[in-house]
Structure 1
Amino acid sequence: MKTLDESGISHLLEKEVYRRKLSFNQDWRFFRGDLQGSEVADWDDSAWEVVHLPHTVRVEPANCSGGRNYLGIAWYRRHFYVDKAYSGRKIFVEFEGAKHTADVWIDGKHLTTHIGGYLPFTLDITDYVAADGETDHVISVKVDNSDMPDVPPGKPQGELDFCYFGGLYRNVWLHTTDKLHITDAIYANRQAGGGLFFTYSEVSTFQAQVTIQTHILNEYGMPKACSVTHYIVDSDEEVVGMDSTSLRTIDPHKDHTFIQTVTVSEPKLWHPDHPNLYTVYTVVNDGAVTVDAYQTRIGIRHIRFDEEGFHINGSSMKLIGANRHQEYVYVGDALSDSMHRRDAIKLKEGGFSIIRTGHYPQSAAFMDACDELGLMCIVPTPGWQWFRDNDTFTERSYQDVREMVRYHRNRPSVVLWEPILNETDYSEQYARTTYEITHAEYPGDQCYAACDHYKIAASAYDVVYGQAVREHQGAFIREWGDHWLEQAGPRQTHLRCSRGTKDFYPGGESGMLQSSKERAEILNGILATKGLSGGALWTGIDTNRGYYDHIAACGALDIYRLPKYSYYLLQSQSVNVPMVFIASHWTSSSSRDITIYSNCQVIKLYLNGRLLGVKEPDSVYESMPHAPFLFERVSWEPGKLVAEGIIEGVVVARHSVRTPGTPEYLTLSVDDCGVDLQADGSDLIMVHAYVRDANGTVIPDAYNRIAFRLTGPAEIVGDGDDRVGSNPIDAEAGAIGVLIRATKEPGTIILHAESDGLKSVTVEMISKISSTKYVPGKSQIPPVGKPEYDADLTAFFSPPPSRNWVHWSDIAINKPATASSELPGCNANQATSDIVADRWSERWSAGNNELPQWWKVDLEGFYELDGSKIFWESDNTVYDYRVEVSADDISWKTVASRKQTGQDEGVDEFHETGIRYVRIVVNPVSKGMPSFYVVKVFGKEME
């Protein structure tokens, strides 16, 4: 095999020889709100903030759930020059993401209104700029993240399980190419075409056939004789395959797709355990002159989902996954590329092999990291419990499906597409159309599309979420380890939990231990199910959401990326690195049954140096690769527990916990995950602060207030903003995080932390010179003082009235109820029972399939009513119902009529007086029978 140098193409390693990619991220002017006329070139923007991308429309508090994040219009303006070297070339601007709509102008000329916030779009600005190196051009962007019912996902944020953060929250790039060039796949808008498309007709350890499709556009006013050459290069920079076409004439303003096949002998296959990548150098020649060159990373692998499960490169594999929202504390969706990478690292190190990017396609940076780290991905189209059966919504959603495939089709990490709307009552035609679109965009046997098993069109899909409905069909659990009903308060299950004990979700040691135990039981069941490929935990990381005013504590990591016990449970399922974790704080109130998570064969447990016992994994979890270890009835005494993990008789891992003492001092830990901080104005890094005792033990009941002070070229995100509350901040269970943003100047950053009564601490970080090349422009001077925005003056701690229903008085508790029919063990009175802990299993369910069905409560008195709320059994069943009220049980008045699923958190608000009876009439139901856990009726007794 020849090296790059020996092949004479080493010059291709010199970046941007034939095409340029410049960052457009620095020095934007920003204004939050709507200022008409801001698009004109000579608009005075000197009073606007100077910001760097990725950028969120507003820094928000750690808990901004319940509709407290900014929704509305914001403006961005960037002054820039176009270098003389680009004269006669094509010039494009690529936006990786802007929510939900983005209007773009160049020097006051409107170029586009882009619809949709989760996929990139590219604009050709060649004819709108002068490549003279001196003209002050202005690109203006108006973004709007308001509720937009016809822009997928579409559901109003007040009813949504995540938040519509906004802004230019991903990278923006300026690209220049020759007029004879490889196109951008999304911009070209060709079915299964545009750009470069790599497929694999043969894959084995002996040989791989790589088929490469290259779309070339000639934008010259004359014919061009074009050829394309591909070099496949391995990690040692050896050329392992190449192919070159003969010259082909492409007429003026016409295009051509070249299709070539390159053979790679003895390929290094891509697999989660060894994610081997190749670089393909694509060279475009105009006659004998090279005019374009492009680098693409690929991974050669073969996948299959079928009735036996998931297979990669001929070997079966159970998939233990997690769902991930792209959110980060304070900055919403505006993560720097390094933060996306750190998330991927943490999820990989947490034992996960597959990530469902619920509920939308995510950034190139996160997906790049997945390719490199060996994290497989499920990519869904934007959607969540919302379907508008009109041409506008459906056509936009269809285009989303097309573009998500075009955007991520060359990634070895992507093994499954989800072209349906999450937990949504979409039409059969919609499901069949999106399936057809997916396979039309990715022909061949390496495209797998997933649908919920209970949908009519499910039999047409390659993979279903749930139980297979036909022969040879794959199956996967898209969300496990959570139940929506817990968000209404504690239940018999305890899947959601906080690290500490002062949040809405009970947590701390006992909460985390119970949550992990329940998740272990569920995971064991998934792994025991024959033919099931695996499942994705809901969720990998805690998130904010629109419809409740507290954080969804579903994650194995909290919003600061601090782990809970379940993180170590899942980490132990990985066999790559030996690990041991004792799930105990070892206090006098700790459980005497000590649970240990490890991927070792045997655990020895010591207390204060005495051997307590030697254990093998708990046989109850026989289907788990590495079941927990349980040491029962350990007598408590203060001191130190030490667990040794043993493989083949050798101690390969240790973990210890010590009974916590009194808080003594703080420590700081820079959570860099081996990724350097870049001095580019927008790069971020998390620093964790810990409250420790004299022995170094983190104090689990410490909630000390910690203040931070920073010197050097960086800032604390949210610092000085009382609404955000990021500094000072209270620790949670002895730990908390502070988010640092680098400036454009490299250097040493010193972070100091202090808390009353504790020894303070400092930590140093280095922000390194960024090697990124930026679009030049007129120097931007920040205004004196940050602008005050009208939107920020609204009382933050006053969520919309529709969110206050959880605090209303429920007058139906323990009141007698009847129903049209009852399933044995699920009688009508269970929906008004005050036995909160039993509401997980106890509910009312109709006893037959006859519709309509009704359920009725007698309030045993006359009341003034303000509304009601139904907690439906299933979060993926649509219940069509109406609420009726009556004073005498004879004459009834309909006060609400709607469709809901178990995930819908909207309350039925109405105002009626003199009411004694409330009746719920259900007809129809998308599947199964009418069933709900609880009915709450809000009001007060009449005088």
Structure 2
Amino acid sequence: MKRTILFLSFLLVATCCCSGVFAQQRRLHTDGPRVAYDLSVHWAFIKDPKDTGKMPGTFAGWTDVKIPHTWNAYDVMDDKPGYYRGAGWYKLDLAMQRDWKDKHLFLCFDGANQEAEVYVNGKKAGTHIGGYSRFVIPISSYLKFNKGKSINQIAVKINNRFNESIAPLTADFTFFGGMYRSVQLLVADPVHFDGTKYGADGVYISTPKVSAKEAEISVKGTIKNETKLSKLITIVTQVYSPSGEKLNTTSTKAVIPVGDLFSFNQELPKLADPELWSPDKPALYRVITQIADGETGVVIDQLTNRIGLRWFRFDANEGFFLNGKHLKLMGASRHQDYAGMGNAVPASLQIRDLELLKSFGGNFLRVAHYPQDPAILAACDRLGILASVEIPVVNEITETEAFYQNCKTMQEEMIWQNYNHPSIIVWGYMNEVLLKMHFKDDKPRQDQYITHVAELARALESLTRAADPSRYTMIANHGDFNLYTRAGLTKIPMLLGWNLYQGWYGGTLADFGKNLDNMHKQQPDKPFIVSEYGADADPRIHSFKTERFDKSVEYAVEYHQVYLNDILKRPFVAGGAAWNLSDFNSESRAESMPHINNKGLLTLDRRPKNTYYLYQATLLDRPYVQIGLDGQELVGTASKGDENGSQQIQVFSNLPELELFLNAVSQGKKTVTDHMASWNVPFVDGANRLGVVGIANGQKVGDTTTVHVKLQPYELSSSVLPFREIAISSGDPRYVRDNKRVVWFPDQPYRSGSYGFVGGTPFKMKDSNRQKFGTDKDILGTYNDPIYQTQDVGLESYKLDVPDGSYLLTLHFAELLGEASNSSLPYNLDANVRKEVKESRVFDVFMNGEPLLKNVDLSKKPGNARPLVKDFKLKVKKGAGIELTFKAITGSPVLNGIQLKKIN
């Protein structure tokens, strides 16, 4: 690739030599004399798998990229285990403006995962460790200012390799590599606010005392004098009301010696009758802090912050209080990645996530498991969403001083970079840290490891309370209450988070409320929130005979109904954060949608699931009615001798009673229970108009939609409703939609006149107490894993009593045994590594007595956990229908799916 040159000026016109076009660069913002420029375009990128320590010197292999950028947007979704974890280089050529020679310039990185080295003109200007915090690199001393155009090369090496000294070590999310958040060039005066040590701005605002009658505001910060003379300055702070009225001004004079880092404190005049910040009314005051030349009065640096005036507390028995009023904290946790983008997500989409949380009635965000884009907390401030933030100490630690020190630095960065946000009420620093336990075969050594975990927790607790005594501290633990109590981790933080999954990874839904009561009874003096809870909800899977771990949206709705009710009715539970706001990438996961954790209330591309509608119906304070359909396509089976076919429809509402209409005909009224009502609706084949109505305050409130239904005839040879096509997922009690939007029917025992299996049993994993059918193995080479993860085993035949005619028959197979499963991931809380028995199976398939497939050996072709698809054109004559018979040669015959389509 040819070199890319960026000419920065106050108009910021850039020339890209690679394409010969002109592009306008964006000035991000001006805060007084301080100017930040967006450095998002005209970067070149190359991977460095050998990690030679030197930037590749040739043009070959470099590609044009825009920031934010990750090199893992796609390899985390392929069938090859693992993803690129190594070094990558970014480079950008800048042309300096002459009058910047007397300024001080900084490169500001909002996030780069996870080790960064920054070079300017070939010299190392700075480094940073940790993938989730902002860092600022001073670059003035490395720049060239020649006559004419001074070209300066910026090179950034990023590495997302495993490093035992850097958290997180392991986790149920993907460690995307790259310069995945925005990068800015900051141009400031030599005398400026300084926060380079922790990547902060350098001005920190607190509200020591707030009440309904008055509020105190304190401002502290650091100023750096990088001139060659001592400098007389005036520090001026102005406070503006939420409506923009100037309320007061405070000034402080100081002399800063050459090269000195000066700290200051200002106590501002008390504000009478403050407008309080809350989720209902997130009133934000504007605080402008300036450095003025002490002799001329000219402002030489300025920072603007928006703050909220509020007070809060947690109580072990009564929960959370904001501004003296009880408030149940209800919301979700959030991961930062997005479909097709990895973690390189523009700020607009990140802000949209917060709008979606607010739209379901949420007032709380757990920023998990790491600090996220600065736009997130700014949106929380503006929208009125309370937040907790944490560093990525997840699953386990390394017992080294380097690991401890990096954790402490991450905690400091998190606190000081986000200190001024009124939305933050909790600083966290560990998540399920005893989940991946070390030294399982050495009890004394394991006890020593647990002691070291507790020592790190106490160090982070002490650091946090010293830095910010105004907020609470939290550790989020998985559900092993006794383990965390024995380790002493339940005594260290001010607030406990419990990640609870009764009814999912283990136990039953009925266990959840009992568990809450028991934990409170055993530790009555410690406030807590349910910091995680959730169940997979694959939007392609539906079931009206739900069971744990079936991955259906319907089971997830039942799960969240129980959890919402039990959290809301217990005052001592301060709140709950659903896991998760949206689906997110976890490269090491298999399950029904490989590489995706499906517990989100929204899909990875932020489409609502029925669970999202349940939260709206539960938490919104306005009348709400929503028909819960994932897409507008359904299938069903017609009633005997009828053209209508019954299918269940769920409606979510906060009204007491609803009436459903199908094509303008009432289907009756239903009482809303746990914010949901359901009907078995007699749809007709084709388009159906649905409407639902309730009464709120004497007014009708409702929802309407058109549903397209494909009905199977009760008798496949029926003349009332002619047979057209069917897809059947063998060994599966669920409805499954594939990537071509074909909906696969549940399997069934053979019924005369219809379809079904004869003999055999549904496949079930051995040594698993999670799933009652199917496997969670990744089926390679298909997007439709659920179709191949279930099968009938040892069946004698499969019958379809279709009328005479020409058909396209498609048979689907996959070998689910014979290859050891992946090691159990730590989030599978009940699982052990499964040792699968290798089973040799070879079989023949016949159709109406004629050979169809001979010597099928799935382990050889296509190989284990790979789909085999076979198409056949055939004719049915003399009312014989279709009977597939299976003859075992070795082992047991299997069948994963059948499609049959009538053709002309």
Quick check: TM above 0.5? yes
Query: Where in structure 2 are the equivalents of 1:852-871 lying within 5 Å?
Result: none
**Aligned-pair distance for 1:575?**
2.6
Which of 162, 166, 172 is the matching residue for 1:161? 172
Counterpart for residue 202 of structure 2:
195
Aligned pair 1:410/2:391, yes or no? no
**Aligned-pair distance for 1:838?**
13
Which of 115, 119, 122 is the matching residue for 1:108? 122
Greater shift after overlay, 44-53 or 194-203?
Answer: 44-53
Secondary structure at the counterpart of residue 105 of structure 1: strand
Would the aligned equivalents of 1:94 and 1:173 in 2 still touch at CA under 8 Å?
yes
Counterpart for residue 170 of structure 1:
181
Q: String of CA shifts for 1:246-289, please: whole Å, max 9, x gaps.
A: x1222222233222233223222221222222221111112023
Hey, what's the Cα distance between the residues in 2 that align with 1:633 and 1:51? 52
Secondary structure at the counterpart of residue 566 of structure 2: helix
Q: String of CA shifts for 1:561-584, please: whole Å, max 9, x gaps.
A: 112110110122233554311235
Secondary structure at the counterpart of residue 491 of structure 2: helix
Counterpart for residue 512 of structure 1:
553
Q: String of CA shifts for 1:229-256, please: whole Å, max 9, x gaps.
A: 11122343211333222x1222222233
Q: String of CA shifts for 1:752-779, please: whole Å, max 9, x gaps.
A: xxxxxxxxxxxxxxxxxxxxxxxxxxxx
Q: Which amino acid aligns with 2:829?
A: G
**Aligned-pair distance for 1:384?**
2.1
- TM-score, normalised to structure 1's length? 0.64
Hey, what's the Cα distance between the residues in 2 that align with 1:374 and 1:811? 47
Secondary structure at the counterpart of residue 585 of structure 2: coil
Secondary structure at the counterpart of residue 15 of structure 1: strand
Aligned pair 1:583/2:641, yes or no? no
Hey, what's the Cα distance between the residues in 2 that align with 1:617 and 1:100? 49
Hey, what's the Cα distance between the residues in 2 that align with 1:175 and 1:732? 53
Counterpart for residue 72 of structure 1:
86
Query: Where in structure 2 are the equivalents of 1:182-331 lying within 5 Å?
Result: 182-184=193-195, 186-187=197-198, 195-245=202-252, 247-262=253-268, 263-287=270-294, 288-307=297-316, 308-331=318-341
Which of 437, 442, 448 is the matching residue for 2:463? 437
Secondary structure at the counterpart of residue 473 of structure 2: coil
Secondary structure at the counterpart of residue 596 of structure 1: strand
Which of 380, 396, 404 is the matching residue for 1:370? 380
Aligned pair 1:630/2:677, yes or no? yes
Would the aligned equivalents of 2:655 and 2:695 in 1 still touch at CA under 8 Å?
yes
Hey, what's the Cα distance between the residues in 2 that align with 1:592 and 1:448? 49
Hey, what's the Cα distance between the residues in 2 that align with 1:507 and 1:470? 30
Counterpart for residue 565 of structure 1:
610
Percent identity of the aligned residues?
26
Q: Measured at CA, do residues 835 and 67 of structure 1 come closer, stay the same or move farther in structure 2, by a change above 3 Å?
A: closer
Q: Which amino acid aligns with 1:299?
A: G
Which of 402, 405, 416 is the matching residue for 1:392? 402
Q: Measured at CA, do residues 564 and 62 of structure 1 come closer, stay the same or move farther in structure 2, by a change above 3 Å?
A: farther
Counterpart for residue 135 of structure 1:
150
Secondary structure at the counterpart of residue 162 of structure 1: coil
Q: String of CA shifts for 1:306-330, please: whole Å, max 9, x gaps.
A: 1111111111111222121111112
Query: Where in structure 2 are the equivalents of 1:341-356 lying within 5 Å?
Result: 341-356=351-366
Counterpart for residue 497 of structure 2:
465
Counterpart for residue 859 of structure 2:
none
Aligned pair 1:32/2:32, yes or no? no
Q: CA RMSD in A?
A: 3.9
Aligned pair 1:63/2:89, yes or no? no
Runs of 5+ consecutive residues of structure 1 not aligned to the other structure = 1-12, 483-494, 619-626, 663-699, 705-729, 735-809, 814-830, 841-863, 876-900, 912-937
Hey, what's the Cα distance between the residues in 2 that align with 1:812 and 1:62? 26
**Aligned-pair distance for 1:516?**
0.7
Secondary structure at the counterpart of residue 461 of structure 2: helix
Secondary structure at the counterpart of residue 205 of structure 1: coil
Q: Which amino acid aligns with 1:250?
A: I
Runs of 5+ consecutive residues of structure 2 not aligned to the other structure = 1-27, 438-449, 499-518, 638-644, 712-734, 745-762, 777-816, 839-864, 866-889, 892-904
Counterpart for residue 726 of structure 2:
none
Aligned pair 1:540/2:601, yes or no? no
Which of 660, 663, 668 is the matching residue for 1:605? 660
Secondary structure at the counterpart of residue 384 of structure 1: coil
**Aligned-pair distance for 1:472?**
4.6
Hey, what's the Cα distance between the residues in 1 that align with 2:78 and 2:586? 8
Hey, what's the Cα distance between the residues in 2 that align with 1:228 and 1:908? 69
Aligned pair 1:525/2:452, yes or no? no
Query: Where in structure 2 are the equivalents of 1:868-887 lying within 5 Å?
Result: none
Aligned pair 1:479/2:415, yes or no? no
Query: Where in structure 2 are the equivalents of 1:878-917 lying within 5 Å?
Result: 902=829
Bigger Rg, structure 1 or 2: 2
Hey, what's the Cα distance between the residues in 1 that align with 2:179 and 2:283? 33
**Aligned-pair distance for 1:541?**
0.9
Counterpart for residue 780 of structure 2:
none
Would the aligned equivalents of 1:381 and 1:419 in 2 still touch at CA under 8 Å?
yes
More contact order relative to length (CA 8 Å, sep ≥ 6):
1
Q: Measured at CA, do residues 240 and 643 of structure 1 come closer, stay the same or move farther in structure 2, by a change above 3 Å?
A: farther
Aligned pair 1:49/2:79, yes or no? no
Q: String of CA shifts for 1:343-394, please: whole Å, max 9, x gaps.
A: 2222222332212222111111222222222222221111221211111111
Q: Which amino acid aligns with 2:138?
A: D
Greater shift after overlay, 544-553 or 55-64?
Answer: 55-64
Query: Where in structure 2 are the equivalents of 1:818-833 lying within 5 Å?
Result: none
Q: String of CA shifts for 1:203-245, please: whole Å, max 9, x gaps.
A: 2232211111122222223222222111122343211333222
Would the aligned equivalents of 2:628 and 2:650 in 1 still touch at CA under 8 Å?
yes
Q: String of CA shifts for 1:26-71, please: whole Å, max 9, x gaps.
A: 211111234778957x944376212110011144168348744332
Would the aligned equivalents of 1:497 and 1:507 in 2 still touch at CA under 8 Å?
no
Q: Measured at CA, do residues 222 and 354 of structure 1 come closer, stay the same or move farther in structure 2, by a change above 3 Å?
A: same
Q: Measured at CA, do residues 499 and 368 of structure 1 come closer, stay the same or move farther in structure 2, by a change above 3 Å?
A: farther
Q: Which amino acid aligns with 2:71?
A: V
Counterpart for residue 94 of structure 1:
108
Secondary structure at the counterpart of residue 369 of structure 1: helix
Query: Where in structure 2 are the equivalents of 1:440-459 lying within 5 Å?
Result: 440-444=466-470, 446-452=471-477, 454-455=484-485, 456-459=488-491
Would the aligned equivalents of 2:549 and 2:770 in 1 still touch at CA under 8 Å?
no
Would the aligned equivalents of 2:281 and 2:384 in 1 still touch at CA under 8 Å?
yes
Would the aligned equivalents of 1:500 and 1:732 in 2 still touch at CA under 8 Å?
no
- TM-score, normalised to structure 2's length? 0.67
Q: Measured at CA, do residues 204 and 617 of structure 1 come closer, stay the same or move farther in structure 2, by a change above 3 Å?
A: farther
**Aligned-pair distance for 1:97?**
1.0
Aligned pair 1:496/2:505, yes or no? no
Structure 1 residue ranges, 4+ long, deviating more than 6 angstroms after superposition:
35-38, 505-510, 832-835, 837-840, 864-872, 903-911
Hey, what's the Cα distance between the residues in 2 that align with 1:250 and 1:182? 12
Would the aligned equivalents of 1:169 and 1:335 in 2 still touch at CA under 8 Å?
yes
Q: Which amino acid aligns with 1:387?
A: I
Q: String of CA shifts for 1:640-671, please: whole Å, max 9, x gaps.
A: 33112432111244344534369xxxxxxxxx
**Aligned-pair distance for 1:127?**
0.6
Alignment length (residue pairs): 666
Hey, what's the Cα distance between the residues in 1 that align with 2:395 and 2:195? 32
Hey, what's the Cα distance between the residues in 2 that align with 1:120 and 1:273? 30
**Aligned-pair distance for 1:302?**
1.3
Hey, what's the Cα distance between the residues in 2 that align with 1:27 and 1:38? 23
Counterpart for residue 870 of structure 2:
none
Secondary structure at the counterpart of residue 138 of structure 1: strand
